[in-house]
Amino acid sequence: MGRAEQPAFRLACGLELRPWCAEDAQVLADACRDPDVQRWNRPGELSLEAARARIGRWEKRWQDEAAAIWAIAEPGATSPVGLIGLSDVDLGGGSAEFLYWLLPGGRGRGAMADAVLRISRWALDDLGLHRLRITHSVANTASCRVAEKAGFTLEGTMRSALLHHDGWHDEHLHARVQGDDWPDLGR
């Protein structure tokens, strides 16, 4: 993984998944101020300098085979509308966990379920992982739908699992394992 170039993917809605680059730093810093991203992803405040450093760390984490993070953007555009990635990549243990968000401009066209499917196929078929997780606050209905539509089985509820601005939230644990059926998103 780390020695290969990070692959790019095209979604059915026309958006593409590509690595983040230094020019995206302002969008990343601004995204952390989006109320929904703040509420559900809890990224904290990010200065432009810190955003540049974070993008640099993502590149390093790809090389270290620890994470794979993509920008979601119009082809050729320098302004991403979202992020999807796998963190906690454990090549030996065969598992990883999704993280994702979209800015308002990228929402409402089914992009994230499609993106989760594309990355899942790459992670399970090409990278050879065995199990992928999605966790989200039980109050985040849109994220729950994304997980369901991408064929991630709801395995249970983790009590008081994540501290949000308004207190501790229970979290759903969804997962897909090698051999699970692939959903047809109708595209």
Ligand X SMILES: CC(C)(COP(=O)(O)OP(=O)(O)OC[C@H]1O[C@@H](n2cnc3c(N)ncnc32)[C@H](O)[C@@H]1OP(=O)(O)O)[C@@H](O)C(=O)NCCC(=O)NCCS
The residue ranges that bind ligand X (CB under 6 A) are: 36-37, 40-41, 100-102, 107-112, 136, 140-143, 145-146, 149
SS3 at position 52: helix
Question: Is there a contact between 147 and 136 (Cβ–Cβ < 8 Å)?
Answer: yes
Map 22-37 to HEC letters. Answer: HHHHHHHHHHCCCHHH
| Shortest Cβ 50–ligand X spacing (Å) | 20
CB of 177 to ligand X, least distance (A): 20
- C-beta closer to ligand X: residue 91 or 131: 131
| Amino acid, res. 178 | Q
101 or 152: whose CB is closer to ligand X? Answer: 101
Give the helix/strand (H/E) hosting 81. none
What minimum distance in Å lies between the beta carbon of 43 and ligand X? 10
Helix or strand run (H / E) with residue 122: none
User: Six-digit token pair at 113?
Assistant: 């379920």
Residue 141 or 157 with smaller CB distance to ligand X: 141
Q: Decide whether 89 or 114 has the Cβ nearer to ligand X.
A: 114
* Shortest separation between residue 133's beta carbon and ligand X, angstroms: 11
Helix (H, G, I), strand (E, B) or coil at 42: coil
